[in-house]
Amino acid sequence: MITTEGGAPVEVRRSARRTRTVAAFWENGTAVVAIPARFTAAQEKEWVQRMLAKLHRQGERRAASGRKRPASDAALAAHAVRLSERYLSGKAVPASVRWVSNQNSRWGSATPADGTIRLSDKLRPMPQWVIDYVLLHELAHLLVASHNAAFWKLLAAYPETARAKAFLEGVSFAMARGLPGSETGDGTGAVRPGGERWADDAD
């Protein structure tokens, strides 16, 4: 089975009506690459890798673009709904999502019984793709309480999961040792708990 760099599933769709162009886009957490039906196996392999690389680069640009962050609780809740729709097929529906300042041992937490999610305000200065990972982590906990295989399968749809986990581990490492510039984490690293499209010419 083909997967993206972040572990999300990849679906290759051949179309007789598609003669010159190749397209790549996200659909319910799956990276879809649409190619002409006439492609050989070698061409398919080449173009799938090329288009997945473009999707990845686009995701990185979006993360670094400085787009407006969800500052208020209402904006954070609305953002959570969008993330759920994009990566979890809308299955996780939080009752409330809010920033809190009293979480000193967690980046985020979720209570499946009442559907509430809380994110530590120590996340605010971090890259948006890291905040999105923590938010998705907590959304996934509304569906699966434990950190079992089913839980991590849900997060595989988010292409920045591995990178965000590494980022938070790095912040935690720095915080534990009091390194300069490490004030953006809480010292533990515990996270208890509209899609891109690319098209290209194939000729």
Write the pLDDT tens digit of every residue in 85-129: 999 989 999 999 999 998 777 899 999 999 999 999 889 888 999
Say what the pLDDT of residue 99 is: 94
Say what the pLDDT of residue 171 is: 85
Of the candidates 118, 120, 128, the one whose C-alpha atom is nearest the C-alpha of residue 164 is 128
Say what the pLDDT of residue 179 is: 53
Angle between helices 73-87 and 128-141 (to 10 degrees): 70
Q: Dihedral (C-alpha) 138, 143, 146, 151: value to the nearest 10 degrees?
A: -80
Say what the pLDDT of residue 194 is: 31
The whole model's pTM is what? 0.59
Say what the pLDDT of residue 92 is: 94
Say what the pLDDT of residue 132 is: 95
The answer for residues whose C-beta is within 8 angstroms of residue 20's C-beta and 6 or more apart is 36, 201, 202, 203
Say what the pLDDT of residue 151 is: 94
Burial tier of 72 (Cβ tally within 10 Å: 0-12, 13-18, 19+): exposed
The parts of the chain modelled with pLDDT lower than 50 are: 65-66, 180-201, 203
Say what the pLDDT of residue 61 is: 64
